[in-house]
Chain A
């Protein structure tokens, strides 16, 4: 199954894995940022109860949660970006932008739907008295949201957000199907060149674990920091 010769062969292509790691990191980081912004907007629209926007936001969330990620990715890549011309250049000298961008868009749209539900639940879990106290002090709606509600809501939902971030890193592997050179793409390329599959997969597993495990640990650290107000 495994052999040191196999690892030696695979190791010749380690550069592909390095590139894959950088691509996966960029893909996930951008998805986390855009997905979170999108999620916040969707959550606030849903909570605003302004018709028909709240209805549209709800429909968006339901559609993205009820369909496979792969279908969404293909629709974004082949259908939407198939009709838009994207400048083709290489990020860092190897990431093909015209494939990378649709990947970021599809992942962000998908995680935005999931995260928005988490954020919405977090906002709704905050006692109405908090809003009333802030508004009675003359603070505006948006100021209340930013200073009072969101800090408490985000603290409460941090474990769920961490989970979603870890999911994004793992889900980003699906982008190899549209030719984004992330880690799974490196596995496939190495497989084709060396006829070895077990060793590249082992390397991919280790790399993914090294990405996701510290991510959850870092968020756990922030969780402890933000819960200072909970200690007696």
Chain B
């Protein structure tokens, strides 16, 4: 319907290991629209992380397509508006997709400020002064402006993850991908990270979130996908998924986690 709002279109995505014996992804299709907050839930090994990591090609799918802004980024080339075949530069697409990891992956040899300004300066050729101004503004937003000169090891897990989120935001991405952002955190730190994410969702940011936080999924998610065995089993609004689950597998899963 509203194709102009379409940001990412995934079609029949498959990721097989050992010549098809192991199917991490077994034919997943969905469309992510601008402003969507898509939450993916499911048991461990259901393929939800693999799916998320396929969106920016950290995981190279065996088959299927991921179309971002009309370009299939799983292919090595694409055809431009004038009909010419152009070599696809995955880096250009990745910088428009922010990613937050379970284990934060801050660069330990750099200060928080350098962690944030490195990619904008090197990749987007942003002047250092402008990048630092922007970094301070974002750090302030997540209450960490006083830690700009600290090294990652000096921060708590929750602080690290908040930095990781704003580091991704520095590139002004069009979509943010979250790969179990609270799974490695101590319980008392989960809240502060989820709060940052909730606020981000309120700004209209397009988000794809893999999480085990069902309360958060229900509250912030606009659309929920339940995955199991590399397949999308059920998709719907939080109300449909949590209050009226259709498939036995989802009913079983919810019984275990809620």
Interface positions of A (Cβ within 8 A of B): 127, 129-130, 132-140, 143, 147-148, 151-152, 155, 226, 228-232
Interface size class of B (residues with CB under 8 A): 20 to 34
Quick check: is B73 within 8 A (CB to CB) of the other chain? no
* In the complex, chain A residues whose CB is within 8 Å of the CB of B110: 229
Q: Once the chains bind, are B119 and A138 in contact (CB under 8 Å)?
A: yes
Within the complex, the shortest CB–CB distance from A122 to chain B, in Å, comes to 13
Q: Once the chains bind, are A138 and B153 in contact (CB under 8 Å)?
A: no
Q: Which of these binds chain A: B14-22, B80-88, B92-100, B130-138?
A: B92-100
* In the complex, chain B residues whose CB is within 8 Å of the CB of A137: 94-95, 118-119, 123, 167-168, 171
Compute how far the CA of A8 lies from the CA of B110 in the bound complex, rounded to whole angstroms: 56
Q: Once the chains bind, are B153 and A232 in contact (CB under 8 Å)?
A: yes
- Nearest residue in B to A148 (C-beta to C-beta)? B107
Within the complex, the shortest CB–CB distance from B59 to chain A, in Å, comes to 10
Could you tell me which residues of chain B, from 98 to 129, have a CB within 8 Å of some CB in chain A? 98-99, 101, 103, 105-110, 118-119, 122-124
Within the complex, the shortest CB–CB distance from B233 to chain A, in Å, comes to 27
* In the complex, chain A residues whose CB is within 8 Å of the CB of B108: 152, 229-230
Within the complex, the shortest CB–CB distance from B124 to chain A, in Å, comes to 8
Q: Once the chains bind, are A229 and B151 in contact (CB under 8 Å)?
A: yes
Compute how far the CA of A147 lies from the CA of B164 in the bound complex, rounded to whole angstroms: 17
The total of Cβ contacts below 8 Å across the A-B interface reads 79
Quick check: is B240 within 8 A (CB to CB) of the other chain? no
Within the complex, the shortest CB–CB distance from A135 to chain B, in Å, comes to 6
Compute how far the CA of A143 lies from the CA of B105 in the bound complex, rounded to whole angstroms: 17
Q: Once the chains bind, are A152 and B123 in contact (CB under 8 Å)?
A: no
Given known pairs A138-B119, A229-B153, the reply for A133 and B107 (CB within 8 Å) is yes
Quick check: is B42 within 8 A (CB to CB) of the other chain? no
Q: Once the chains bind, are A152 and B153 in contact (CB under 8 Å)?
A: no
* In the complex, chain B residues whose CB is within 8 Å of the CB of A232: 153-154
Ranked nearest first, the 8 interchain pairs of A and B with the lowest CB-CB distance are A138-B95, A133-B105, A137-B119, A136-B99, A129-B105, A229-B151, A229-B109, A138-B123
Quick check: is B158 within 8 A (CB to CB) of the other chain? no
Mostly helix, strand, loop or mixed at chain A's interface? helix
* In the complex, chain B residues whose CB is within 8 Å of the CB of A139: 91, 118-119, 122-123
Q: Once the chains bind, are A135 and B94 in contact (CB under 8 Å)?
A: yes
Q: Once the chains bind, are A147 and B118 in contact (CB under 8 Å)?
A: yes
Q: Once the chains bind, are A133 and B94 in contact (CB under 8 Å)?
A: no
Q: Once the chains bind, are A228 and B151 in contact (CB under 8 Å)?
A: yes
Compute how far the CA of A129 lies from the CA of B153 in the bound complex, rounded to whole angstroms: 16
* In the complex, chain A residues whose CB is within 8 Å of the CB of B107: 130, 133-134, 148, 152
Compute how far the CA of A151 lies from the CA of B109 in the bound complex, rounded to whole angstroms: 8
Q: Once the chains bind, are B109 and A152 in contact (CB under 8 Å)?
A: yes
Within the complex, the shortest CB–CB distance from A72 to chain B, in Å, comes to 36
Could you tell me which residues of chain B, from 173 to 219, have a CB within 8 Å of some CB in chain A? 177
User: Apart from A132-B99, A138-B124, what are 6 other A-B pairs with CB-CB below 8 Å?
Assistant: A133-B106, A136-B94, A136-B168, A138-B92, A138-B94, A230-B151
Q: Once the chains bind, are A138 and B91 in contact (CB under 8 Å)?
A: yes
